Structures are given as C-alpha cells and as structure tokens.
C-alpha cells in the first residue's frame, strides 16, 4: 500500500530573459576559479560511482548503452512519435519473485517492450533513469503518430498551459488539438506487482485496436506508463528499493533515483490525470480520500475530477463480476464516500498527492484487492497465489480502461481545469473552498473537508553573513525548488522591503507562479492538525523551509527590477587564500567534507563552538573538498583544542538513517542483535549509533559482555526509544526516557545549548514518536530542549488515551542529552531526509564519541 545541481532548462517560448549569476571565487594557493561547476551531492556521487562500476566494456555494449542513455532525456521535443529503440535484454533471473505469481519478471520486460514497439506506430519506449540497484526504468508512451512538427506544437501548447494559463484558457488550438497527458505509475512498492502486468496488457490492446474509440483516444491524448517504478523491489519481492526506501514516502525530499525520475516525468509530461497502482486492500480502494485534505492544492478542481473518475473505476471493477462468496473479492470502496478518516491526502509524500502540484486534476491511488505478498507469498500454494494475481491484473486493467474512458469523455474539461490550477497560481487568485455548490455532483461534502491556506506574497532565502544561516543549505534548497519546477529568482542588487535590507544574491520565490502550491508545500511551516482527526495515515508535518538548514523568510511584496530568474543556485564553495581554515559543521555537506579530510590523514582540530579547524598546509585538500561538497572554508585565528578523528560507525538504524550517515561520509557497518550474537569485531569501529534493531536484553552473554567492553572505552549515540533503552541498559547516562504518543509527528520548536554539540543548530526539529528525558543525573548535560508552551509547529500530536504523552508534557523537557560516553536524541534528526538541517547534530555527536574514546 499505499540531486544533481543541474536543472533541465525550461523552454523559453514567450519572453527571452537574460539569466545572470553573481560570480563567486573558490581560492586555492595556486589559482582563483570563478563560478566552479556545482558538485554533485555526496549521495549522488555515490550513485554515479555505482553507475560507473556497471558501465559495459565491450564496444557493442558501449554502443547499445550509449543509444539507451541518450533516450534518458525524456523531455526531448525535437523528435516525433513513435520513438523506437531496441532494448538490450537483461540476464534471465530465475530468482525473480514475480515468477511464482505467474507475472512478468523484470528480465522479461525489455523483450516485451521490444515486441510491443513492433506491433505498429503507436508505442514508444524511453529509459527514464536507473533504479538504486542499477535497473532501467522504462517509460512507455502510447499515442497516435506525430511528426516532429506536431510534437513541437504539443510542447508549445503544454508550455503555454503552465506559463501563460490566461492565454491558454482562450486558445482554440488547445481546445481542439492538445493531447491530454495521462500518467500510469506501476509497482512503486516492489511487492505489489500486478499494475505492471495490467499496463503491459493495456499497451498491447491500445497498440493493436482498430475501433473508433481507441483511435479517438490516442488522437487526443498521450498515455504514459512507468512500467515498473521499483524494479529492485519487484525482483526481490520487497516493498522498498535496493536502498531500503519506501519510495511512496519520498516525494518531498526525492532522495532516491527512481523518485527523481518520476518527478521529472511529471514535470516534463504535465499529466492531467494519473493512476498509481498498488495493493492490497479488499475491496479495491479507489481514492479520493478521507480528511484532512492537502491545503495547498486546488481541492475543488481535484475533488470534482477524482470523484467522478473513481465512480467510473468502481463500476468497471465491480462489473468484472467477482464476488465475495465465489472469489473472495469485496466490492470496491471510495474512502471519501465510505470512510470517516484514516486514509488522508494531507502530506505530499505520496505519488498522487505530489502529482496534484504539477497540474494533475485527477490523481488516484488504487489498491487492488487480493493479497499475494509478505506472509501470503510465503504460505499460500502457488496455484492460489496465481489465481489471486490474475484477479488483481483484471481489477487493475478495469481501472485503466475506466480511466481512459473518463479521459476520452472529459478531455476538454480536464485540460481546462489544469489550466485553471496554473491560472490561479500565476494570478495570485484565492482558492475555492469545497462545498456542494462549488463541487456539484459530489455528495457528503462537509466542513471537515474544507482546507485552504494563505499564500505569502513571496519567500526570501537571504544571502549574506548574519542573515543566512548556511549558504550551503540555501544553495541546496534553491536547487531542490528548481528541480521541483518551482520558479526562483535572484537579486542582482541589494533591496529593501518591509523595513529589512536584503543582500545582493538573495533568492526570491514569487508566489504568483503556476506551481505556487508546490512552492508553499515545500517552504511553509504547515499546520497543527491535532484537533482535526484522531490519527494520521503517515506524517502530518514537514517544512523544508524550517528543517533543511537554510534561513527562509517571507516578503510583503516583490522587488521588481532587481530579480533575475535562475536555473541553478550559485555555488557556496570557497577557500580563504591564506591562514588556517575554519569549517563550520552545521550542514551534512560540511560533515562529509570533514570526513573526506580525515580519511586523507589531515590533522583537524575542533574549536569550542564545534567547528573544525584545518591547517593552512592542507589548503589544496580543502579546496578539493569545497568543490566536491559545496562548502566554505573561511580564514580563522582559532587553533582548536581537541583533535578530531576518523570515525567508523557501527549502526543499528533504519534504512533512512543508514543512508544519511553514508551521505555524511561516515564509514558505516550495519549491526543488529543477530549480528552481535554471531560475533562482531568491535575493533573495526569507533562509535555505535543505535535507533532500532538492537535489544540489550536479547543479546547472548558473550555478545553483551563484548558490547559492554566496547562502550567502556567508546561512545554511544542513541535515537528514540531504542537508543534510550540501550543507554539505560548499559548505564551510560543517568536519565529517565519518557515516550510520548507513538502516533505523534511533526515540526517542533526547540531550544539549543551553546556547547560544541548544538552551537548554531536550527531552532526547529522533527519528531516521530517523540521522546524526552527526566530525572537527569549529575553528569548529564542538556544539549537541547523542547520549547515551552506548545512546541508543535505543524503536524499531529495528541495526548495518549490516558492523558499523557502530549506536547504539554514534553514542553521544556530535555530532547537531547549527553554525557562523557553517550549522546541520546529524543527527536528524529535523520528522518527520511526531511530534517536535513539536523543531520550535522548526529555528525557532531559521532565525532564527540570518537574523541571520547581517543580513537585514531
């Protein structure tokens, strides 16, 4: 169920705008480099390294790979359709988990797509990217043939719809000839397989059908199929990809290559309608959802279309004739109509909810009915699994056919509604609250369904020391906005607004833009919805404006005449030309840069404020780190007192935390209770980080003795209830951990100490199942506390049923504590890449534990 720094250029079709970027200098002892190319983030570099390791070596393989790699530019509008290519087959894999279900294994996908392209002139295949595990992501387009000129005309109209929606609304050409884009996303959860097979069948039918309805559909729409969004999980039978990520939770942060590929499809193709095919809920669950509803999109337009399409899909699914008594299939359900709460569209982390911000006015999660994964996969007879999978393919196929009928019948109104989404954004128009009057034909609309927000006139990401906490974080945030197709400008001169002066180079996000909803959902604080529903399906608070480490504010107006559009953020990389160097450790990229220097044997010391002091003799290495990680090394007269050491980490953590630790450049060895019980070489690591998967009570006597011996001379960093439990069991910190409501999550206000661990840390954090600490012993230092009053800024945090565990209980309590050999976090500083600005807190904690142990 349910980044690179180079941003593709948007075609300029109306007004040519000069793009200017203020120059910056990266100084080395030998040279000054103006405007160095912006580096890949560390995790992207690792992905490129993995890709390079897979590069074919024979001339024939290289030629084929080059041909396929060229097709990854999925926004190429210089060619018409079809766009045929011969895909190289993958080696047969008898271990592919889909085989047992009678479904299409991944290695059979490329040959099937080759065969489908050969059926006629309607099917095109492109490679949209690669998975974390290196598998190709196939995007199939089905449409009536187009000449290159016709394709350029479609691109021009698509751009007009977004960039000049008021003109587009009056365009006879768009009404008559624009092809409505439809996006079908399959198999984002790898062990929810059948959407892939249903789409392959649908493509074959569309490729060969000669009836008038099909010809009309393809003449007036383009149908895009992401055949399998998660080939890693499809093969392995896992929900997650090869990095262990649930990608249907990743659309705010886009940490995974598959999600970045899906994001780019939505940006480039601008779908008006999309389906995300999942499993398994019996009866088939078809969105729209229960409250709360996302407050940043135009919900009146969204609900009108999603509900109408849901009714058609429901009729098609029920019309298949499957029954509870005969087949075990319950009638389809529509949560908006059939449920009170529990299946919401509040966070934009899910694929359909994210798609809405790119102009998709009918976007659905569809949960097909018959479970074939997890326990069922392992215990049911193969014949029963195949019976269920066949039903699921039928159900998914019915949803596809109904959606295509819906698009054919409503193409003009769907396109008009997409235009209206963009028009409201560009004009700064008010949202339209849903009601039975504004959304006719949708029964049961009540006050519980009304969610709107107030958009600021503009956001500002200021430049300059004293106003911008982190230039590195600001550049990352700007590039992330651009990658999400949010329009960003940069001040060519200083300006003054609202009584404040902003430096040259400050970024401004004018909220009168087509995708204002997406800009706001990424930058705004969000809302406390604790009183709206009893529980949430997933997270309910997020804010890259608060949590990614950059200073972000709002403006009462826009300083016209000084702003220039940007395609990429200006690099933050800098090295002072002389003297010793200071590297602030306030950002994960700075932690990664420090780790790279330590691995090279550079002698680095820590200052009292937690920053790293690098000797001037290492300027060349610092310059390379600055370029690679986009960080600044400033001149300093501080000498630093405490040597910093290369820190190798044993980690019992979630996949997201493991990913974050490696992104920061730590050498990490995953451990667990089972790993320790099997015997673990503690001499290979310098610190232990624990949040999950390591229970002191379940260790064998020998493993417990070895762990205790390690912790006697080394350090523990713990997170959440799991980390606190280990801290208590080993007696490293005299403190009582208190667990808050396990359903609570969101953005919170915090108060930081001024010590080396938290100096310069953001004043907001993220919690999920929050923890705080009481009864602190004499050697325990409070590094951070939850703010007084109600610390929750946005999200959902209620008291537990017994009246405890709410935000009032946490207010003013310690959220992070430390001692000589342990640091414990009650917050979630590494949660799914959301609190990027907090990553460095964990990095500093791990370095402090290595220092405590005196490791080399």
- Active site members: 375
d(Cα 148, Cα 821) in Å, to the nearest integer?
66
653-671: string of b/e by CB count within 10 Å (b at 16+)?
A: bbbbbbbbbbbbbbebeeb
Residue 322: DSSP 8-state: -
DSSP secondary structure code for residue 333 in this structure:
B
Contact, 373 vs 279, CB < 8 A? yes
Which tokens sit at 669?
């060895």
Q: Determine the 3-state secondary structure of 424 from DSSP.
A: helix
Tokens at 86, concatenated = 């011969």
Q: Largest Cα–Cα distance in the chain?
A: 81
- As a whole number of angstroms, the distance between CA 505 and CA 6 comes to 19
Helices (H), 507-649: 516-523, 544-547, 588-599, 619-629
Using CA atoms, how far apart are residues 655 and 538, in angstroms rounded to an integer? 17
CB 727, CB 822: distance < 8 Å: yes
Please work out, in degrees rounded to the nearest 5, the angle formed at the alpha carbon of residue 322 by the alpha carbons of 316 and 325: 145
- Give the residue among 283, 500, 483, 465 at the shortest CA–CA distance from 392: 283
Helix (H, G, I), strand (E, B) or coil at 156: helix
DSSP 793-855: EEEE----TTS-SSHHHHTTSEEEEEETTEEEESS-TTSTTTTGGGHHHHHHHHHHHHHHHT-
Strands 285-286 and 273-279: unpaired
Q: Which residues pair with 582 in a beta bridge?
A: 613, 634
Residue 807 forms beta bridges with which residues? none
d(CA 156, CA 715): 59
Q: Which helix (H) or strand (E) holds 159?
A: helix 148-163
Q: What is the strand order of the sheet 285-286 is part of?
A: 123-130, 136-142, 221-226, 180-186, 273-279, 362-368, 285-286
CA distances from 310 to 3, 406, 739 (A): 35, 10, 41
Burial of 171 (0-12, 13-18, 19+ CB in 10 A): middle
Element (H, E) at 142: strand 136-142
Query: Using the 8-state DSSP alphabet, how is residue 273 labeled?
Result: E
């Amino acid at each position: 169920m349910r980044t690179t720094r180079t941003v593709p250029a948007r075609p300029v079709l109306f007004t040519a705008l000069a793009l200017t970027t203020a120059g910056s200098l990266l100084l080395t002892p030998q040279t000054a480099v103006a405007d160095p190319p912006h580096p890949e983030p560390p995790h992207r570099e690792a992905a490129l390294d993995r890709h390079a390791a897979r590069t074919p070596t024979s001339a024939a393989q290289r030629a084929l790979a080059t041909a396929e790699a060229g097709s990854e530019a999925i926004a190429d509008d210089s060619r018409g359709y079809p766009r045929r290519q011969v895909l190289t087959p993958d080696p047969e894999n008898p271990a592919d988990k889909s085989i047992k279900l009678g479904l299409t294994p991944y290695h059979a996908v490329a040959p099937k797509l080759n065969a489908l392209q050969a059926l006629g002139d309607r099917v095109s295949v492109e490679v949209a990217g690669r998975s974390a595990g290196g598998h190709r992501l196939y995007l199939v387009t089905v449409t009536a043939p187009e000449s290159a000129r016709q394709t350029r005309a479609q691109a021009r109209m698509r751009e007009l719809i977004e960039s000049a929606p008021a003109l587009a609304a009056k365009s006879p050409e768009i009404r008559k000839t624009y092809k409505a884009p439809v996006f079908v996303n399959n198999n984002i959860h790898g062990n929810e397989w059948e959407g892939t097979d249903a789409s392959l069948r649908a493509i074959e039918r569309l490729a060969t059908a000669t009836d008038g309805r099909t010809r009309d559909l393809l003449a007036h729409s383009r149908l895009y199929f992401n055949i399998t969004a998660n080939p890693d999980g499809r093969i392995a039978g896992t929900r997650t990809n090869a990095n262990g990520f649930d990608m249907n939770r990743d659309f705010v942060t886009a940490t995974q290559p598959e999600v970045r590929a899906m994001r780019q499809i939505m940006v480039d193709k601008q779908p008006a309608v999309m389906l995300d095919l999942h499993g398994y809920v019996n009866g088939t669950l078809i969105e729209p959802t229960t409250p709360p509803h996302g407050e940043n999109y135009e919900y009146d337009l969204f609900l009108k279309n999603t509900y109408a399409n849901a009714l058609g899909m429901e009729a098609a699914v029920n019309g298949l004739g499957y029954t509870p008594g005969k087949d075990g299939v319950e009638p389809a359900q529509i949560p908006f109509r059939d449920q009170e709460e529990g299946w919401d569209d509040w966070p934009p982390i899910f694929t359909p909810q994210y798609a809405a911000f790119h102009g998709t006015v009918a976007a659905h999660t569809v949960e097909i009915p018959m479970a074939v994964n997890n326990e069922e996969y392992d215990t049911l007879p193969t014949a029963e699994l195949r019976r269920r999978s066949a039903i699921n393919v039928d159900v998914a196929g019915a949803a596809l056919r109904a959606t295509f009928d819906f698009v054919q019948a409503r193409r003009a109104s769907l396109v008009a509604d997409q235009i209206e989404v963009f028009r409201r954004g560009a004009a700064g128009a008010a949202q339209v609250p849903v009601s039975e009057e504004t959304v006719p034909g949708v029964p049961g609309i009540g006050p519980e369904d009304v969610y709107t927000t107030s958009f600021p006139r503009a956001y500002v990401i200021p430049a300059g020391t004293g106003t911008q906490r982190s230039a590195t974080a600001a550049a990352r945030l700007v590039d992330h906005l651009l990658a999400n197709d949010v329009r960003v400008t940069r001040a060519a001169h200083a300006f003054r607004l609202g009584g404040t002066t902003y430096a040259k180079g400050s970024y401004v996000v004018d909220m009168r833009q087509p995708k204002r909803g997406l800009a706001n959902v990424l930058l705004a604080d969000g809302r406390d919805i604790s009183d709206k529903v009893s529980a949430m399906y997933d997270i309910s608070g997020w804010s890259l404006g608060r949590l990614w480490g950059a200073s972000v504010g709002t403006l009462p107006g826009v300083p016209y005449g000084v702003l220039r559009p940007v395609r990429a953020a200006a690099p933050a990389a800098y090295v002072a030309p002389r003297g010793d160097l200071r590297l602030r450790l306030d950002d994960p990229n700075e932690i990664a840069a420090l780790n790279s220097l330590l691995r090279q044997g550079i002698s680095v010391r820590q200052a009292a404020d937690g920053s790293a002091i690098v000797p001037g003799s290492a300027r060349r290495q610092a310059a390379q780190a600055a370029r690679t990680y986009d960080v600044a090394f400033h001149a300093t007269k501080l000498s630093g007192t405490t040597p910093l050491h290369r820190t190798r980490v044993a980690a019992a953590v979630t996949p997201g935390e493991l990913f974050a630790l490696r992104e920061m450049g730590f050498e990490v060895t995953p451990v667990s209770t089972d790993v320790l019980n099997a015997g673990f070489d503690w001499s290979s690591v310098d610190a232990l980080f624990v949040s999950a998967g390591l229970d002191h009570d379940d260790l064998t006597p020998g493993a417990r003795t070895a762990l205790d011996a390690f912790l006697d001379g080394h350090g523990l960093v713990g997170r959440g209830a799991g980390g606190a439990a280990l801290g208590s069991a080993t007696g490293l910190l005299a403190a009582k951990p208190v667990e808050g409501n396990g359903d609570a999550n969101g953005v919170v206000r915090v108060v930081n100490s001024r010590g080396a661990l938290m100096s310069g840390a953001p004043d907001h954090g993220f919690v999920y199942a929050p923890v705080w600490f009481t009864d602190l012993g004499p050697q325990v230092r409070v590094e951070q506390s939850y703010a007084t009053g109600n610390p929750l800024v946005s999200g959902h945090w209620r008291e537990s049923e017994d009246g405890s565990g709410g935000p009032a209980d946490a207010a003013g309590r310690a959220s992070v504590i430390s001692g000589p050999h342990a640091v414990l976090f009650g917050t979630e500083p590494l949660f799914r890449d959301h609190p990027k600005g907090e990553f460095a807190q964990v990095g500093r904690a791990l370095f402090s534990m290595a220092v405590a142990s005196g490791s080399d």
